[in-house]
Structure 1
Amino acid sequence: MTSSASPRFRHQLVIPFQDADVAGMLFFAHLFRYAHEAYERFMSALGHPLAGIIGGGAYLLPLAHAEADYRRPMRLGEPIRIELGVGHLGESSFRLHYLFLGGDGQLSATAETVHVTFGVVEKRPVAIPPGLRKALEPYLLGDMA
């Protein structure tokens, strides 16, 4: 499977030595670190860097859910392209979908994370701020997620 024509943010990396297991393949837990790295870059590209959100003090975006499916090995030195899109945009949460594509464009893994807008003062979920919602909307995948 290759990437779809739907709107996705793209992030590239190469599997480094320190992330490989003894067989020379990506150690499974690093997939979530790569997803988070792509998420950080995505939020910065939207004009909502995580450092600014945390420093702003009004709300946070903790994870409520994370999952991954591995389709084929990712090997030491292999270039990986991560494509990220918004699978769902709710009142106080949003779900991100990640495709991990190998150097040949074939699907190596998928991941999903659900982020909740948590009010610092309210100490509970709050509505996604209008500016953030507007920034996320162009990346909605709809039925293509």
Structure 2
Amino acid sequence: MTQIQVSFGDCDPAGIAFYPNIFRWLDKAFHDWLRPRGGHADLCARLDAIGIGLIEAKAQFRRPIVDGDTLAVDLTVKEWGRKTVTLEYEGRVDGVLAFQAQEIRGLFKRNNGDTFAAEIMALEELVKTVGET
């Protein structure tokens, strides 16, 4: 779980969290999830990859998040595919659902200057050696 202390600078003129910050916090939760597994750079080096990149992201906002809130973001692996992993997120303030989100990510490699989505099974195996959430 990733904890975010929401501040005034995270909010728009209406006083609620500016929606791009939600996606920034999803990315933080993703990298916090990778950290005990070696972190993004280490995993990419071990897999000869250039990144675990975002393919798709979407969110549903359920309640406003405001200055002073402590946001708890949980990440769950929904599905491992051949070339993608689907991640689900829930953001809660004081136990109340503030947003739900989903990302689809891929493992990207480069060959002769071409970037491509590689099969993701090796990443899945590395992640599972430390445990999924």
Per the TM alignment, residue 117 of structure 1 is displaced from its structure 2 partner at its CA by 1.2
Q: Structure 1 residues 63, 15: closer, same or farther in 2, change over 3 A?
A: same
Listed as ranges, the gaps of 5+ residues in structure 2 are none
TM-score (norm 2): 0.85
CA distance in 2, matches of 1:136, 1:129: 10
Q: Deviations over 1:8-62 (max 9, x none)?
A: xx11111111111122210111100000011111111222x12334566821212
Cα separation, 2, equivalents of 1:135 and 1:72: 36
State the alpha-carbon separation in 2 of the partners of residues 129 and 91 from structure 1: 7
SS at 2:13 equivalent:
coil
Larger RCO (alpha carbons 8 Å, 6+ apart): 1
Cα distance in 1 between the residues matched to 2:9 and 2:19: 13
Q: What is the aligned length?
A: 128
> Percent identity of the aligned residues?
24
Aligned match of 1:127: 119
In structure 2, what residue type is equivalent to 1:63? L
RMSD of aligned residue pairs (Cα, Å): 2.0
From 10, 14, 26, give the equivalent of 1:19: 10
More strand by share: 2
Contact 2:10 2:17 in 1 (8 A): yes
Please identify, of 112-121 and 32-41, the stretch whose mean Cα deviation from structure 2 is larger: 112-121
Give how far 1:92 is off.
Answer: 1.5
1:52 equivalent in alignment to 2:19: no
Name the residue aligned to 1:34. Answer: 25
Q: Taking structure 1 as the reference length, what is the TM-score of the superposition?
A: 0.79
